[in-house]
Amino acid sequence: MTDSTFLPFTRPDIDAATIAAVGEVLASGWITSGPRMQAFEAQLSALFGGRPVRAFANGTSTMEVALRVARLGPGDEVITTALTWVATANVIGAVGARPVFVDVDPVTRNISLEAVEAAITPRTRAIIPVYLAGLPVDMDRLYSIAGQHSLRVIEDAAQAIDSRWRGSRIGAIGDLVSFSFHANKNINSVEGGCLVLNTEDEALRAERLRLQGVIRTGPDGMEVEEPGGKFNLSDVHAAVGLGQLARLESITRRRAELAGLYFDAAARAGLAGLGVGLPPPADPTGALTNWHMFQVELPVDRIAGGRAAVMQALRARGIGSGVHYPALHLFKFYRAQGWREGMLPHTERLGRSLLTLPLFPAMTDADPARVVSALIAVIGELS
């Protein structure tokens, strides 16, 4: 096996025009936040129906600032899922609030809205749904629950750029919506993110919070009314984001094509007959995913060595894979807060068994069948 034959689970694709644009920024003498960042924000705002948008250094800072814009703090509870990157929960603690984890729906793998309703207490102030692999939750029901209980919704849409709900793009609807432009996302700015807000007042507060809380007036006036962070996006990163955003439509289309090829290959090869669970298919009448990831559920209890053994065996065949995500409530930090095995059974099962297969636009049409064939062979060897 050579490096040229290895198929990673994802690979960023930066075109020549974007590389040239980065060079122009570096040569301009203005490389931190400036005109490119402002242009990126303007194009993102247009994508989300004209809503206010602010760009950030990463998709974690967007979440922390969203919580602060919503005025969450000590004594408040935020309901969320434990089947997510740990940042989703960490930012809740960072503002002094308490994360309340609920189980996921075993079919969609997203937060169970039934469990959300059951977990609401007088201290609940917000819900953070996470759109795993780009698949939105039932937005109508989510916002009905939030409205009935006067809760803010902070959508962790890190993986959901260009996903839809009943034809509306995620971010063009909803409350506070956070996206990530990390290198492994559908479009990236190497590192970065953006926050979609409701009003210009919210946007101005988010803008202050991303740069130390500083308010500037005139040529030399400066004031700080509340402390912020150092979360601004540079023009270098924004140049990459602008180049990626211009290709969003073709990227989304290609990912859907590859997902379709995975489903076709799995059906022909009888993958489900081996006890492998496939992701929920796209549903154009409701939640339409952007196919950020193609995740299968392995029958880990029947596989010697479990998921790790499958990953190692696939790698030996030239195929990369990923884990998204372990059940975060079982990390030591959250165990210390009282979370234990058995409290979120669907989350814990999926956290042990989900395997992310390669999916990125530069893959060939033959690659999904190659991956499925290798996976079947590996499961057969290890079962």
Residues forming a β-bridge with 165: 168, 287
Tell whether 164 and 233 lie within a shared domain.
yes
CATH code, domain carrying 370: 3.90.1150.10
307: pLDDT strictly greater than 50: yes
Give 283's pLDDT tier (boundaries 50, 70, 90): confident
Domain enclosing residue 102, as ranges: 16-245
Tell whether 180 and 252 lie within a shared domain.
no
Assess whether 185 carries a catalytic annotation: yes
143: pLDDT strictly greater than 50: yes
> Pick the catalytic residue: 68, 185, 292, 324?
185
Give the Cα separation of 123 and 100 in Å (integer).
11
Give the Cα separation of 198 and 30 in Å (integer).
30
Tell whether 196 and 283 lie within a shared domain.
no
**Which stretches of 129-265 are assigned E, i.e. beta strand?**
152-156, 164-165, 168-169, 176-180, 193-196, 214-217, 221-224
Question: Pick from 216, 245, 274: which residue ends a domain?
Answer: 245
Q: Crossing angle for the helix pair 367-382 and 306-316, nearest 10 degrees? A: 130
Give the Cα separation of 111 and 192 in Å (integer).
25
1: pLDDT strictly greater than 70: no
Give the Cα separation of 324 and 148 in Å (integer).
32
Question: Pick from 245, 277, 312: which residue ends a domain?
Answer: 245
pLDDT digits (tens, 9 = 90+) for 111-136: 999 999 999 999 999 999 999 999 99
Number of domains in the chain: 2
Give the Cα separation of 49 and 168 in Å (integer).
10
Give 2's pLDDT tier (boundaries 50, 70, 90): very low
282: pLDDT strictly greater than 90: no
Question: Pick from 245, 262, 289: which residue ends a domain?
Answer: 245
pLDDT digits (tens, 9 = 90+) for 340-380: 999 999 999 999 999 999 999 999 999 999 999 999 999 99
The whole-model pTM stands at: 0.97
pLDDT digits (tens, 9 = 90+) for 181-226: 999 999 999 999 999 999 999 999 999 999 999 999 999 999 999 9
3: pLDDT strictly greater than 70: no
Q: How far is the CA of 245 from the CAs of 158, 161, 183, 339, 363, in angstroms?
A: 15, 10, 13, 40, 20
pLDDT digits (tens, 9 = 90+) for 239-258: 999 999 999 999 999 999 99
